[in-house]
DNA sequence: AAAATGTTTATAAACATCTCG
DNA sequence: GTCGAGATGTTTATAAACATT
């Protein structure tokens, strides 16, 4: 850690050669280590449009982010969107002083995460200027998502200022208004490319500016500018927020524990279910399974779905789910699959759909839902399938499952584990403090009523989404810095 | 664990419904739990062609297999090639009594492995016969590989009977003869399909019988019978065994350990290198990197490759590597990619090849080799790329790396970690005892000599390969039970 | 030769989801 | 019929062994 790294960072300008040809914008010390103040100024000026001078984060406390997130923060903070291991170390230590004094082992974890997760890709430059150099970069989807520390901190600030509405009862916060239709975002301004057109790694992308479309209007495209320019994406997308569960209720840790050792549940609000994201095709074949669930009538409810009554109460009419976009399946087919458009879940009890196309969609048969369903904050839960045709394969009366989160973009907050080596309540504690575990859960009243067939969709207000991102709903926003994956 | 599992296994005949239509072969209790003796007889008779009555394995000692391997053993032991979690537990406990009394937590690890590794796929059957049931099965490549406990035990027995030639010096066993050309296997007999043609999961495949082709002849196809019948594979393959390193020499565990805590090396035979498998195209472009390594002359050695002298001594001429199959690239292009043909490594110091095709090949630039290279036993080291076009992407003077082992088929032995909860020397200890860590390493004499440019290829004798599998070289062999991936 | 870097497995645990008594 | 305990499934953290640079 010492000698070699020090040299590389402070003195040696670990400037990425990718950016050497440029001079004006990128010729700064974007990775600081000397005079933090001076550096801070430069950085704020160059890369922080928000202008909030928050360099050191979560001082001395362990940050509530997973290593996976931290590494993405680091890599995305660099103009070239790639970093050497040393630089990743240094960036994390710089932004999260906790790691400066952290028990050694965290670097091991960093390397472990880099190797383990496929979103982190190692590049080796040819040793044209001497020896080969290894850089860590992100897969295409992660580059697009462009997860940054700024996003998170904006979010945190938001949380501090206007915290989530108080929890009315234990574990059952009130429901928030949810509009019916899908949401659409349309690009309004496409600023001139930031003079770095030739960068193949999407590094230092210029931000596209979008404006929220009035509700009820139909899908228009939301497209990052660099993609628009290349003409790869021109089809509209719809936004379908995704349900989730409540957090913050202790469950028994693991069933393998001998019964005497198992922790007792604190709140017996058991049977929490979060339907796994479901990818469906509006014009797809009929469900393979016929067990009720689809018809929101009281009679059907009674039919033979043992213990599933409350599920149905939260199952919106299927036509509701598809109504906002009749041409959705055609759109799907015409999409550039490289983009991995994200359609998040609707709590649809459609089980085992038989997809008629050659590219199966991702599905997890929702025997779904439960008693107390909730809505996860979108930013915690938007995940991207790694490959277009990954997902559930249904044939021959069986169904194969692929976790949509697997090595893609797991929730960034709320799943960070408590560090064994840190005080204890830092991990999840700080999360709960910010109200982050399960931001907009459903009210219990809505759950209990039978035959509640009002058009309560699972669509989360997109305004709410933006609010949680720390952005205003109608205002223009810098799309370059938030996740496109969460918007498409 | 108790009641529920017990019921499902002993009484309930956790017979896979996939096999219900059949009656003669599969209608047995292939997963035992009651009267082990009776069961053993049936099993031996039905599924163990070898006829060696070795049911309980590694009695009370922790088996030297990774969880990943154990799970594959279990799943592949079932006719339907899929198992419920309970059945996996039971099978492992049955074959490896160690786990009957093992510290709880191993089941957690089993589940962890099932979820983590993509080769394990969860299937859910439609609740046609009542409720939905989850089965764990294997990805296509793993189904083909069909790793079984029998393979491993045959191998172990082999080791015990004719152990690897004594280690001459500490850590440097003698080299074994290695022929120059590639190897080819050709199918000789294709027995009639075992009446289970309709099984889409490749379950209970009939065995193809192959015979080893005399050396020096050119590639002929080796094809599992079920594939031949379906006509999906008709192109010849070549066999390129793969180099490896020696095992059993302690290295300092992790550099993150503070220097005082780091374990001291036992044998200073440091700098062991195992080149990562390299996928190359014989007709590819020239190497991107020019730094020596390719020219096996003494002058070049001295040039500026500090500390790399001995590498070159073990770098065979590149033309040697490509000579056996001139039409290899055409073959590659014509291959059914579903099969994921495996070409293992040659210790080729070709770095960063610029592949001209649209489907990049998997490459790890071998700055390669080292002082004491060795050959891993092929069965330990044949890995399969998960997707045809995964691998190295070379463009723009940089190279992206994809570990070929990643979640595919890592070495089964020799990398099993010592259990924290088990005595200690059980894990690696039993391996070394059998001479498994690095079966046919190179002799030290061959390493030391400078300018040793004799045509010492890294090709391992295919006969040796089979020998290590416990099979005779020229005899017909049951291909249905060994890994096709290791042969193709 | 030592240290940094990279890959993989083991273990524990948190948490979600599902099953079954 | 419901509920809740336990089984099953997913993911992250940590340590470590080992390979490679
Ligand atoms: Mg990686
Ligand atoms: Mg899996």
Give whichever of A48-57, A164-173, A232-241, A438-447 has the largest mean pLDDT: A48-57
- Per-residue pLDDT for A361 more than 90? no
Query: Mean pLDDT across the stretch B294-305?
Result: 25
Tokens of A26: 């990128």
- B273: nearest Cα among B393, B447, B429: B447
Residues of B whose CB is below 8 A from A289? 126-127
- Per-residue pLDDT for A150 more than 60? yes
pLDDT at A393: 61
Distance A363 CA to C1 C1' (A): 54
Strand D contact nucleotides, protein CB < 7 Å: 1-21
pLDDT at A130: 67
Task: Identify the residue with better confidence: B63 or A369.
Answer: B63
Mean model confidence pLDDT for chain B: 45
Q: Do B403 and A108 touch (CB under 8 A)?
A: no
pLDDT at A157: 79
Instruction: For chain A, positions 286-305, list CB contacts with chain B under 8 A.
Output: 288-289, 291
Residues of A whose CB is below 8 A from B402? 121
- Interface with A, mutate which of B17, B82, B123, B255 (most A CBs under 10 A): B123
Query: Mean pLDDT across the stretch B2-12?
Result: 38
The whole-angstrom separation of Cα B169 and Cα B441 is: 12
pLDDT at A16: 77
Smallest Cβ–Cβ distance between A108 and the set B118, B256, B403 belongs to: B256
The B 417-446 residues near strand C by Cβ under 7 Å are 417, 419-422
Query: Mean pLDDT across the stretch A164-181?
Result: 31
B94 Cα to the center of ligand 2, angstroms? 23
The whole-angstrom separation of Cα B14 and Cα B204 is: 17
Q: Do B288 and A135 touch (CB under 8 A)?
A: no
Q: Where are the alpha helices (H) located in B323-476, listed in sequence order?
A: 328-334, 378-381, 427-434, 444-448, 462-469
pLDDT at A472: 26
- Kindly report the number of other CB atoms within 10 A of residue A26's CB atom: 22
**Residue B306 gets which letter from DSSP?**
T
pLDDT at B60: 84
User: What phi, psi does A373 have (nearest 5°)?
Assistant: -75, 155
Neighbouring residues of A138: CB distance < 8 A, sequence distance ≥ 6:
A72, A75, A76, A81, A82, A119, A120, A121
**Residue B17 gets which letter from DSSP?**
G
Q: Do A132 and B403 touch (CB under 8 A)?
A: no
Tokens 């509530």, residue located: A64
**Residue B480 gets which letter from DSSP?**
G
Instruction: Say whether the CB atom of A164 is under 7 angstroms from strand C.
Output: no
Distance B182 CA to C3 C1' (A): 39
B366-406 tens-digit pLDDT? 222 222 222 222 222 222 333 333 345 566 677 788 776 56
Query: Mean pLDDT across the stretch B289-300?
Result: 24
Helix (H, G, I), strand (E, B) or coil at B114: helix
Helix/strand/coil (H, E, C) string of A465-483? HHHHHCCCCCCCEEHHHCC
Q: Which of A62-71, A317-326, B27-36 has the lowest mean pLDDT?
A: A317-326
- Interface with B, mutate which of A124, A388, A408 (most B CBs under 10 A): A124
Query: Mean pLDDT across the stretch A72-99?
Result: 97
- pLDDT more than 90, % of chain A: 16
Tokens of A346: 């609707």
Q: State the pLDDT confidence band at A442, using cuts at 50, 70 and 90.
A: very low
> Which of the nucleotides lies closest to A133 (Cα–C1')?
D21
- Kindly report the number of other CB atoms within 10 A of residue B18's CB atom: 26
Residues of A whose CB is below 8 A from B406? 118
Environment class of B406 (CB within 10 Å of its CB; exposed 0-12, middle 13-18, buried 19+):
middle
pLDDT at A96: 96
Query: Mean pLDDT across the stretch A44-63?
Result: 55
Query: Mean pLDDT across the stretch A163-190?
Result: 31
pLDDT at B126: 73
Query: Mean pLDDT across the stretch A139-152?
Result: 93
- Asked whether the beta carbons of B217 and B184 are under 8 A apart, the reply is yes
Distance A444 CA to C8 C1' (A): 45
Q: Which of B167-171, B265-269, B319-323 has the lowest mean pLDDT?
A: B319-323
Burial B181-214 (b: 16+ CB within 10 A, else e): bbbbbebeebeeebebeebebbbbbbbbbbbbbe
Task: Identify the residue with better confidence: A438 or A78.
Answer: A78
- Asked whether the beta carbons of A200 and A474 are under 8 A apart, the reply is no
B407 Cα to the center of ligand 2, angstroms? 10
B179-201 tens-digit pLDDT? 323 333 322 222 223 323 233 33
H or E stretch including B107?
Answer: helix B106-116
Task: Identify the residue with better confidence: B160 or B274.
Answer: B160
> Which of the nucleotides lies closest to B422 (Cα–C1')?
C10
Tokens 């957690």, residue located: B108
pLDDT at B256: 65
A237: closest CA of chain B, how far (Å):
28
- Asked whether the beta carbons of B238 and B221 are under 8 A apart, the reply is no
pTM above 0.80, yes or no: no
Q: State the pLDDT confidence band at A110, using cuts at 50, 70 and 90.
A: very high
pLDDT at A132: 84
- Helix, strand and coil percent figures for chain B, each rounded to 5: 30, 10, 65
B25-84 tens-digit pLDDT? 333 345 543 323 322 222 322 233 333 445 676 778 899 999 999 999 999 999 999 999
Distance B294 CA to D8 C1' (A): 53
- Per-residue pLDDT for A289 more than 50? no
pLDDT at A107: 98
Residues of B whose CB is below 8 A from A128? 397
Q: Which of A100-109, A331-340, B54-63 has the lowest mean pLDDT?
A: A331-340
The whole-angstrom separation of Cα A96 and Cα A369 is: 38
Distance B177 CA to C16 C1' (A): 55
First to last CA, chain A: 41
pLDDT at A55: 67
The whole-angstrom separation of Cα B155 and Cα B466 is: 10
Residues of A whose CB is below 8 A from B367? 132
Q: State the pLDDT confidence band at A403, using cuts at 50, 70 and 90.
A: confident
pLDDT at A282: 24
pLDDT at A369: 30
A365: closest CA of chain B, how far (Å):
9
Between the alpha carbon of residue B270 and those of residues B246, B252, B425, the distances in Å are 11, 10, 22
Q: Do B400 and A121 touch (CB under 8 A)?
A: yes
Domain boundaries A67-161, corresponding CATH code: 1.10.10.10
Instruction: Say whether the CB atom of B3 is under 7 angstroms from strand C.
Output: yes
Q: State the pLDDT confidence band at A104, using cuts at 50, 70 and 90.
A: confident
pLDDT at B156: 75
pLDDT at B417: 67
- Per-residue pLDDT for B125 more than 50? yes
pLDDT at A17: 74
Q: Give the Cα-Cα-Cα angle A26, A30, A31 (nearest 5 degrees).
A: 145
Instruction: Say whether the CB atom of A274 is under 7 angstroms from strand C.
Output: yes
pLDDT at B186: 28
- A375: nearest Cα among A480, A458, A297: A458
Residues of B whose CB is below 8 A from A122? 400-401
Partner A contacted by B198 (CB < 8 A): no
Tokens of B305: 């490759």
B122 Cα to the center of ligand 2, angstroms? 7
Query: Mean pLDDT across the stretch A405-422?
Result: 58
Instruction: Say whether the CB atom of B24 is under 7 angstroms from strand C.
Output: no
pLDDT at B56: 73
- Per-residue pLDDT for B154 more than 70? yes
Q: Do B127 and A291 touch (CB under 8 A)?
A: yes
Interface pTM (ipTM) of the complex?
0.56
pLDDT at A160: 75
Task: Identify the residue with better confidence: A262 or A350.
Answer: A262
Query: Mean pLDDT across the stretch A83-107?
Result: 96
Instruction: Say whether the CB atom of A223 is under 7 angstroms from strand C.
Output: no
Which ligand is the nearest neighbour of the Cα of B402?
Answer: 1
Q: State the pLDDT confidence band at A117, using cuts at 50, 70 and 90.
A: very high
Which ligand is the nearest neighbour of the Cα of A112?
Answer: 1
**Residue B164 gets which letter from DSSP?**
-
Partner A contacted by B367 (CB < 8 A): yes
pLDDT at A302: 27
- Per-residue pLDDT for B132 more than 70? yes
Q: Do A200 and B396 touch (CB under 8 A)?
A: yes
A120 Cα to the center of ligand 1, angstroms? 4
pLDDT at A415: 54
- Per-residue pLDDT for B168 more than 50? no
Residues of B whose CB is below 8 A from A398? 123-126, 135
Residues of B whose CB is below 8 A from A123? 398-401
Which ligand is the nearest neighbour of the Cα of B407?
Answer: 2
The A 73-102 residues near strand C by Cβ under 7 Å are 84-86, 89
The whole-angstrom separation of Cα B110 and Cα B97 is: 16
Q: Which residue of B has its CA nearest to A106?
A: B256
CA torsion sign for A54, A55, A61, A64 is positive
- Asked whether the beta carbons of A186 and A214 are under 8 A apart, the reply is no
Query: Mean pLDDT across the stretch A356-381?
Result: 26
pLDDT at A97: 95
Partner A contacted by B399 (CB < 8 A): yes
Query: Mean pLDDT across the stretch B287-293?
Result: 25
Domain residue ranges in chain A:
67-161
Q: Which residue of A has its CA nearest to B127?
A: A289
Tell me the Ramachandran region of residue B22: left when phi exceeds 0, alpha when psi lies from -120 to 50, beta otherwise.
Answer: beta
- Per-residue pLDDT for B172 more than 50? no
Instruction: Say whether the CB atom of A426 is under 7 angstroms from strand C.
Output: no
Distance A372 CA to C15 C1' (A): 16
Q: State the pLDDT confidence band at A488, using cuts at 50, 70 and 90.
A: very low
């Amino acid at each position: 850690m010492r000698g070699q790294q020090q040299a590389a960072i402070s003195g040696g300008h670990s400037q990425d050669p990718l950016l050497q040809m440029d001079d004006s914008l990128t010729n700064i010390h974007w990775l600081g280590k000397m005079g933090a103040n001076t550096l801070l100024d430069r950085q704020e000026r160059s890369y922080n449009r928000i202008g909030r001078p928050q360099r050191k984060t979560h001082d001395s406390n362990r940050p509530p982010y997973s290593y996976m997130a931290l590494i993405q923060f680091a890599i995305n903070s660099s103009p070239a969107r790639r970093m050497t291991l040393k630089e990743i170390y240094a960036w994390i230590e710089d932004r999260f002083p906790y790691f400066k004094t952290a028990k050694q082992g965290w670097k091991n974890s960093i390397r472990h995460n880099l190797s383990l997760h496929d979103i982190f890709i190692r590049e080796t430059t040819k040793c044209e200027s001497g020896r080969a150099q290894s850089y860590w970069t992100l897969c295409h989807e992660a580059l697009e998502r462009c997860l940054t520390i700024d996003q998170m901190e904006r979010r945190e600030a938001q949380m501090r200022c206007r915290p989530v509405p108080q929890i009315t009862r234990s574990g059952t916060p009130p429901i928030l208004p949810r509009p019916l239709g899908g949401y659409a975002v349309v690009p309004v301004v496409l600023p001139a490319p930031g003079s770095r057109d030739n960068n193949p790694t999407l590094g230092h992308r210029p931000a596209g500016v979008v404006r929220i479309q009035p509700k009820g209007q139909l899908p228009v495209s939301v497209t990052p500018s660099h993609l628009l320019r290349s003409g790869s994406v021109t089809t509209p997308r719809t936004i379908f927020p995704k349900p989730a569960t409540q957090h913050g209720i202790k469950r028994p840790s693991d069933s393998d524990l001998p019964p005497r050792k198992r922790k007792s549940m604190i709140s017996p609000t058991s049977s929490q279910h979060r339907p796994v994201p479901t990818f469906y095709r509006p014009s797809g074949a009929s469900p393979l399974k016929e067990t009720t669930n689809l018809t929101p009538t009281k009679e059907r409810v009674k039919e033979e779905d043992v213990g599933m009554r409350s599920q149905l109460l939260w199952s919106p009419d299927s036509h509701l789910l598809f109504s906002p976009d009749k041409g959705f399946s055609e759109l799907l087919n015409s999409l550039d699959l490289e983009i991995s458009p994200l359609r998040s879940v609707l709590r649809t009890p459609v089980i085992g759909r038989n997809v008629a196309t050659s590219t199966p969609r991702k599905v997890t048969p929702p025997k779904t839902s439960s008693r107390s369903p909730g809505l996860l904050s979108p930013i915690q839960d938007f995940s991207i399938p790694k490959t277009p045709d990954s997902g559930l394969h249904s044939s021959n009366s069986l169904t194969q499952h692929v976790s949509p989160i697997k090595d893609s973009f797991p929730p960034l907050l709320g799943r960070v584990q408590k560090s064994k080596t840190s005080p204890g309540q830092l991990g999840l504690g700080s999360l709960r403090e910010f109200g982050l575990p399960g931001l907009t859960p459903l009210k219990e009243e809505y759950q209990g009523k039978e035959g509640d067939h009002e058009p309560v969709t699972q669509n989360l207000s997109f305004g709410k989404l933006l609010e949680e991102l720390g952005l205003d709903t109608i205002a223009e926003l810098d799309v370059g810095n938030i996740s496109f994956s969460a918007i498409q």
